[in-house]
Amino acid sequence: MPLILKTTRFVETQIDLFLDVVSDAAILFQLAMDDYLKERNDQFEERLAKIREKENKADELRVGIERYLYERTLIPENRGDVLAILENTDEVIDNIKDALLQFSIEMPVIPEGLDDLWMQTTSASVAAVEQLVFAVRSFFRDIAAVNNYIHKVYFFEREADHLGEKLRRLIFAQDIELSHKSQLRWFAIHIEKISDYAQAVCDRLSIYTIKRQL
Amino acid sequence: MIFIYLLSGLFLGWSLGANDTGNIFGAAVETRMLKFKKAALIAAIFITLGAMIEGSGPSKTLGRLGSVDALGGAFTVALAAALAITVMIRIRIPVSTSQTIVGAIIGWNFFSGRLTDFRSLLTIAGSWVTAFVLSAVIAGLLFLIFRSYLSKSKLHLLELDVYTRYGLILIGAFAAYSLGANNIANVVGVFVPVSPFKDLSIADLFVFDGIAQLYFVGSLAIVLGIYTYSWKVMRTVGKDLFHLSPVTALIALLAEAIVLFVFSSRGLYNFLLALGLPTIPLVPVSSSQVIVGAVVGIAIVKGGKNIRYNVLGRISLAWIVAPLMAFFFAFIALFIIQNVFEQEVNKDLAYRFDDKTVPLLIARNMDKSALGTVNGRTFQSERQVFHELDRTGAFTRDEIIRIIAIVEEYPMLVNTRLLREKGFVKRFAPEQLKAIETLDGQRFAHRWELAERLQDSSSWQRIEAAKNEIQKSRNNRINAQLDILYRTFFVK
A78 touching B, CB under 8 A?
A: yes
ipTM summary value: 0.89
Q: What's the confidence (pLDDT) of residue B120? A: 66
Residues in chain A with pLDDT values less than 50? none
- pLDDT value at B61 more than 50: no
Q: Are A131 and A149 in contact (CB under 8 A)?
A: yes
Residues 6+ away with beta carbon under 8 Å from A103: A32, A36, A44, A48, A187
pLDDT, tens only, B107-147: 998 898 888 777 767 766 776 788 789 899 999 999 999 99
CB contact B38 to A (< 8 Å): no
Question: How does residue B60 score in pLDDT terms, banded at 50, 70 and 90?
Answer: very low
Residue type, B429: A
- The answer to whether B146 contacts A214, with C-beta atoms less than 8 Å apart, is yes
> Is a pLDDT exceeding 70 seen at residue B59?
no
Minimal C-alpha gap between A160 and chain B (Å): 32
* Whole-number pLDDT of residue B63: 47
Work out the minimum CA distance from B304 to partner chain A, whole angstroms: 14
What residue type is assigned to position B430 of the chain? Answer: P
* C-beta atoms of A77 and B154 within 8 A: no
pLDDT band at B259, cuts 50/70/90? confident
In angstroms, the Cα distances linking B299 to B139, B192, B269, B309, B325 are 10, 43, 31, 11, 30
Residue B62 binned pLDDT confidence (cut-offs 50, 70, 90): very low
Residues in B touching A78 (Cβ below 8 Å): 157, 161
The identity of residue B484, as a single letter, is I
Contact A141 B246 (CB under 8 A): no
Q: Count CB pairs under 8 A between chains A and B.
A: 51
Q: Cβ of B37 under 8 Å from any chain A Cβ?
A: no
- Report pLDDT for B470: 75
SS3 content of chain B, % helix, strand, coil (to 5): 70, 5, 25
Q: Give B227 or B480, the one with higher predicted confidence.
A: B227
CB contact under 8 Å between B162 and A4, yes or no, is yes
Check CB contact of A2 with chain B, cutoff 8 Å: no
> In this predicted model, what pLDDT tens digit does every residue of B360-373 receive, in sequence order?
899 888 888 888 88
* Shortest alpha-carbon distance between residue B71 and chain A (Å): 49
Give the pLDDT mean for B393-418.
89
Q: What is the pLDDT of residue A192?
A: 93
Tell me the nearest-neighbour CA distance from A114 into chain B, angstroms: 44
Confidence of residue B153 (pLDDT cuts 50, 70, 90): confident
So what's the pLDDT on residue B116? 78
Mean pLDDT of chain B: 85
pLDDT of B66: 56
Tell me the torsion sign for CA atoms A170, A30, A138, A75. Answer: positive
> Which residues of chain B make contact with A74, given a CB cutoff of 8 A?
158, 161
Over residues A14-60, the pLDDT tens digits come to: 999 999 999 999 999 999 999 999 999 999 999 999 999 999 999 99
Minimal-distance CA residue of chain B relative to A142: B154
Q: What is the pLDDT of residue A179?
A: 94
The one-character DSSP state at B113 is T
pLDDT at B401: 86
B209: pLDDT strictly greater than 80:
no
CA atoms within 13 A on the CB side of B478: 23
pLDDT band at B6; cut points 50, 70, 90: confident
| Residues facing B412 on adjacent strands | B444, B490
Residue A141 contacts B, CB cutoff 8 Å:
yes
CA-nearest of B471, B451, B470, B467 to B406 is: B451
Backbone φ, ψ for residue B381 (5° rounding) = -145, 160
Q: Does B166 touch chain A (CB under 8 A)?
A: yes
